Each structure stands twice: as C-alpha cells, then as structure tokens.
Amino acid sequence: MHIRSAEFVKSAVKPVHYPPPDLPEIAFAGRSNVGKSSLINTLVRRKHLVKTSNTPGRTQHINFFRVNEELMLVDLPGYGYAKVPAAVRKQWRPMIEAYLSGRPVLRGLVLILDIRRTPGPEEISFLQWLKEQGVPAQLVVTKADKLSKSRQTLRKKAVAEALAAAPETMILFSAKTALGRDALWREILALVSAR
Ligand SMILES: Nc1nc2c(ncn2[C@@H]2O[C@H](COP(=O)(O)OP(=O)(O)OP(=O)(O)O)[C@@H](O)[C@H]2O)c(=O)[nH]1
Ligand SMILES: [Mg+2]
C-alpha cells in the first residue's frame, strides 16, 4: 500500500464527537500495551503519527486517522490493564461497544495479540461479541521480533488454538521490522471493499 497521506483527524469518547461517517473505517483493538499504536504507525510508515508509550493504558480515547483520503484507521483504547484507575477502566467498555455496534461505516476490526501471551476469556468473549454484532475480525499476532523463527511458529499455533482459529488466517506482525505489513494491508483493503 502506497501512503500518500496520513493524518490525525480527531479524538473522541462519545458518538457525537466522532468525525462524520464519510469514509470506510477499520478499528484496531487489543490489550493495553500490546502494540496497537505502533502497528498503525508501521502501516502508514510514520514513526510518530500515533503516540506510543511504555506505560500501558496510554490511549484512553478513540482516535481517528485518515489515510489517502480513502479510509479511516481507528485506534481504540486497550483493555485489561489493572493499574489504570477503576473509573477510567469502567468507561472503556461502553465507549468501545458504542463505537463498534453503532458505526455504519465500520468495515472490520483488527484484533492485536501479543505472540508471547496465550489469549484468555476476555479475547474469546470479545470475538464472540463481534460476531454477534456482525463485525468481521482479522487476527494479528505482534511483537514477533521478540522470538526466534521456530518459537514464532509454535506460539502462533498456540494463540490460534486458544481462539479456535486457523493459524494460517492469522497475520504474524512486527512493528520493529514491518513483518506482516503488506499482508495486513491486503486484508484491510479486502475488508474495505467487501461491501
Ligand atoms: N519489539 C517490539 N516492541 C513493540 C512492538 N510493538 C510495540 N512495541 C512496544 O510496546 C510498547 C507499547 O506499544 P504501543 O504501540 O504504545 O501499545 P498500545 O497497544 O498502543 O498501548 P496502549 O495505547 O497503552 O493500550 C512500546 O514500548 C512499543 O515500542 C513490536 O512489534 N516489537
Ligand atoms: Mg496506544
């Protein structure tokens, strides 16, 4: 994918603050600190378009980024980080669910998983909920650069198994080496043109 332009559009919490639904949207979700913002930066080949951080729970709003005047990439706040204040954590779920269930231009969601961590009930029930909402999900296992090639294959299989997914449908990714960038763009563009 050739990037002609990538720009931050808006940060929102409530639906009234979302930008006008003029372009197809792809959302990115995953646990806190899994690498959502880094993955978006890698997709658009811009190191600092989206703020990244070593402190989990840094992205607390829904952030919209426009690419090539063609589509919108939507960075969702991460879930599952215990050290974020309870009041903040409590508003995440309704915020994310309101967006995912009520956005007419949403074409799909990229669920980002850490290759070193076996997904649990949170991911399983989230995927089930997406299915019920009719939101297609693309699974990505990221931080692949942290493991050897042979460990990557083993861990990818374990992650797939925990989610009852076929390993070949999951994309191996690294924000550090850009591994998986082209494969993920292919899937994103397929989701965008699926309707
Ligand atoms: N080695 C390696 N580090 C990564 C990769 N992706 C992200 N990181 C690091 O992981 C940390 C978290 O990355 P972010 O992109 O900020 O993660 P996030 O999911 O957006 O985090 P929150 O917004 O806080 O939920 C940062 O220190 C990144 O540099 C990767 O593919 N490889
Ligand atoms: Mg982030």
What would the DSSP string read from start to end of 25-54?
A: EEEEEEBTTSSHHHHHHHHTT-TTSS---S
Is residue 95 included in any domain, yes or no?
yes
- Determine the atom of ligand 1 nearest the C-alpha atom of 175: 31
**Domain annotation covers residue 64:** yes
Residue 19: both structure tokens together: 């930008």
* Spatial separation of the C-alpha atoms in residues 60 and 89, rounded to whole Å: 9
Q: Please state the rounded mean pLDDT for residues 30-53.
A: 88
pLDDT-based confidence at 81, cuts 50/70/90? low
Q: Count of residues for the chain?
A: 195
Cα(91) to centroid(ligand 2), Å: 16
pLDDT above 90 covers what percent of the chain?
74
The answer on pLDDT for 172 being more than 60 is yes
CB 127 within 8 A of CB 155: no
Which numbered atom of ligand 1 lies nearest the CA of 78?
25
Cα–Cα distances (Å) from 180 to 44, 102, 110, 125, in that order, read 13, 30, 13, 26
Tokens of 56: 């989990």
Instruction: Evaluate whether residue 1 is within a structural domain.
Output: no
- What are the start-end ranges of the H helices in the chain? 36-43, 86-102, 121-133, 149-162, 181-192
Chain-centroid distance, C-alpha 145: 18
CA 68 to chain CA centroid, nearest Å: 19
Ligand 1 mutation target, pool 32, 39, 52, 181, most atoms within 8 A of CB: 52
Higher per-residue confidence, 156 vs 32? 156
Does pLDDT of 59 surpass 80?
no
Looking at ligand 1, which atom is closest to the CA of residue 41? 15
Let me know if residue 175 belongs to a domain. Answer: yes
Q: How far is the CA of 36 from the centre of ligand 2 (A)?
A: 5
- Which residue has the CA at smallest separation from atom 17 of ligand 1? 35
Q: Please name the residue that has the structure tokens 């190191």.
A: 47
pLDDT at 11: 93
- The CATH number of residue 107's host domain is 3.40.50.300
Question: How many percent of the chain have pLDDT more than 70?
Answer: 91
pTM of the model: 0.93
CA-proximal residue: ligand 1, atom 25 (nearest): 32
Answer yes or no: is 89 within a domain.
yes
- Number of domains the chain is built from: 1
**Tens-digit pLDDT profile for residues 91-133:** 778 889 999 998 999 999 999 999 999 999 889 999 999 999 9
Residue 58's pLDDT is: 57
pLDDT score of 61: 87
Residue nearest to atom 27 of ligand 1 (CA): 54
**d(CA 44, ligand 2 centre) in Å:** 15
Q: What is the mean pLDDT of the chain?
A: 91
Residue 84 Cα distances to 33, 55, 56, 90, angstroms: 12, 10, 8, 10
CA 116 to chain centre: 17
Q: 122: domain range?
A: 6-192
- Tell me the ligand closest to 63's alpha carbon: 2
